[in-house]
Structure 1
Amino acid sequence: MTQTQIEAFISESAEFTPESCIGFTITSGYAHFKKVGNNSAKPTYRIPPRTTVAGLLAGILGYDRDTYYDLFQPDNSAVSVVPLNNPHTVSVSTTTVNTKADEAIKYIPPDVHYTKGVKALTPESYVELDRQRDPYEMLVDPKYRIYVSLAAEDVETELFERLSESRYHYSPSLGLSECLAEINDVERHSLTEADDEPIEVDSTVCELEGSTVVPKPGVTVCRERSPLYMEATDGGGRRTTTFGNVTYALERDRALTVKGQLAYDTGRHVVSFS
């Protein structure tokens, strides 16, 4: 889809109300969703931020970095995450190096053919830059059910086909590229608006103005403030435009009770979109 087509979808979709969605289950041995504002120590969100889900889907579709943000704005997309387990965390220390193209470490001298790379490794060829040892907080065996609806029907159709056929442009991962993920149980779902008040919601809830998560006995309510939407900048980078309070129940067999917020029944879960 061209930039002109993307802008046309945005102008035509003042408000986006999903009528159907794609649902799929994603899991991995480990996951890490780096919290904003932390550098040396790297804690993780428990729930993949909406921006992370957008990046995951864009990678499956083959979009380059900083080219897909307009497809996942609130007026033309809807995303919901249902945590299917409560993963514990471990701390993993990782030695990192700078991989910026014009500063990357030269492992192989320029006069040595790449097929001889193993023999070419010498201290002089790989210690040009200092290493940094960082502790990562990793989620162990995370599992989520993700629901997504897009106003761009041709993009949503391609996404469904790629998910169903495991035909990914970039391999899916949960946060870090090393946390390769498995996607299965891909389905299309019709959506029925839930009209109960209050509503029992299986998914996370991005609390909106006027909405309230009602505490209940036996349900541990957790909240994370995470990025929701991004935009590309003129300098070739990106920036977060909106953060939100994402609330979820710690116990996987318990639902959140919510007042003043739309929710939809997918046939498998009752979800709140953001």
Structure 2
Amino acid sequence: MTQQDLTDYASDSDDSSTAQYIPDTCIGFDVTADFAHFRKVGNNSAKPSYRVPPRTTVAGLLAGIMGMSRDSYYDLFSPSSSAVAVVPKQLPHTYTMGITTVNTNEAAIQYLPLEKDWWDGAEMLTPESYLEHWDKPGRQDLMETPRQRDTYEMLVDPVYRVYVSLADEDVHDDLRERLENSRYHYSPVLGLSECIADIRNVDTHTVESATTNAVDSAAYDDSAVVPSPGVTVKRERAPLYMEATDGGRKTTAFGNITYATGDDRLPVDASRAHAAGDHEVILY
């Protein structure tokens, strides 16, 4: 969008300019994959993707690398104890892909006996409830019935530069060591578990204030974005922060992932910009 009033879709997060954790140093690394998919909230059957991973997705990626259990790391990645910035080094083009999904509920999965197997001698881990047998003499053909085929918007060859810092120094150091030595508890992925990611160019950078009015990174809360003539800006509504609940988790704030297209940089309020590594970014 160009020259559109940013208050039309104002973020409902807290004032991040005052609640923000600003570190002295941060970890920087490149992450890429053949495909990525970051499913947009509010969509079920057709699954469009964010072009830039939401902050919650980045937190989940890093928590998985450190082996943290689901819903256990939200305080660690709160705005007062962490800082994250994502630079889309190469905005990906998209490809629509049909993917057949099956239920992975542990209670539904069991080994399919060999005598029922389509391929003689091969033991398969298959939910028996998904299989329907043709009742014909001499045949044990299997027909898959309740599987669901969904349309996914996949990102092709995405490349992002991630900058992250954690206020907990022990966890921060553990994350840096794991990234530097490719010692991941869970394999890093970009969205879907099938989208195995490659992490490289890990380094530690000094974080300094910058005086620029345009940055290389995306913004997760568009309060810092200042529309500029001739610069096309796109925005996508996404979760920003979460907290654990008795039943799992809930989103505590939404933001607008905002980024410039083409060769343009994102125009911002200069007071919110910081320099890290080879880029000028906004930290969240």
TM-score over 0.5 (shorter chain): yes
Which among 267, 270, 273 is matched to residue 280 of structure 2?
270
Q: How far did residue 206 of structure 1 move?
A: 2.6
Q: Are the aligned partners of 2:112 and 2:123 in contact in 1 as well (CA < 8 Å)?
A: no
Distance 1:215-1:117 versus aligned 2 partners, 3 A rule: farther
Higher relative contact order (CA closer than 8 Å, sequence separation 6+): 2
Quote how far apart the aligned CAs of 1:117 are: 7.1
* 8 Å CA contact 1:262, 1:272 repeated in 2: yes
Counterparts of 1:183 and 1:121, CA distance in 2: 32
Per-residue Cα deviation, 1:96-144 (whole angstroms, up to 9, x for no partner): 111111233x3434999xxx97156899675177111100000000000
CA contact (8 A) 2:85 2:283 kept: yes
Q: Give the Å deviation of 1:16.
A: 2.1
SS in 1 for 2:226: strand
Q: Show the counterpart of 1:85.
A: 90
Preserved CA contact (<8 Å) 1:215 1:221: no
- Which of the pair has more CA radius of gyration? 2
- Corresponding position of 2:68: 63
Corresponding pairs, count: 251
**Pairing 1:108–2:120 present:** no
Identity of aligned residues (%): 58
The answer on whether the counterparts of 1:90 and 1:138 sit within 8 Å (CA) in structure 2 is: yes
Residues 1:243 and 2:261 aligned together: no
Q: 1:165 aligns with which of 181, 191, 194?
A: 181
Q: Secondary structure at the match of 2:26?
A: strand
TM-score (norm 2): 0.82
Q: Structure 1 pair 174/272, CA: closer, same or farther in 2 (3 Å)?
A: same
2:226 paired with 1:213: yes
Counterpart of 1:69 in 2: which secondary structure?
coil
Contact 1:21 1:189 in 2 (8 A): yes
Give TM-score scaled by structure 1 length.
0.85
Q: Aligned partners of 2:261, 2:175: CA distance in 1, in Å?
A: 30
Query: RMSD of aligned C-alpha atoms?
Result: 2.4
Q: Which amino acid aligns with 2:58?
A: V
Residues 249-274 of structure 1 show CA distances to partners (whole Å, capped at 9, x for unaligned) of: 111x3211112651111130000011
Q: Which amino acid aligns with 1:269?
A: H
Aligned to 1:27: 32
Residue of 115, 125, 133 corresponding to 2:149? 133
Corresponding position of 1:99: 104
Q: 1:173 to 1:120 in 2, by over 3 A?
A: closer
Structure 2 residue aligned with 1:118? 122
Quote the Cα distance in structure 2 between the aligned partners of 1:150 and 1:256.
25
Between stretches 128-137 and 155-164, larger displacement belongs to 128-137
Distance in 2 between the 1:233 and 1:268 partners? 39
Deviations 1:31-64 (A, max 9, x none): 0000111111111000100000000000000001
Relative distance call for 1:95 and 1:190 in structure 2 (3 A) is same
Whole-Å separation in 2 of the counterparts to 1:184 and 1:138: 22
Pair 1:266–1:41, CA change in 2 (3 A): same
- Distance in 1 separating the partners of 2:258 and 2:202: 25
Report Cα offsets for 1:145-196 as digits up to 9, x if no partner. 0000100011010100000001100000000000000000000000111134
2:53 to 48, 60, 72: 48
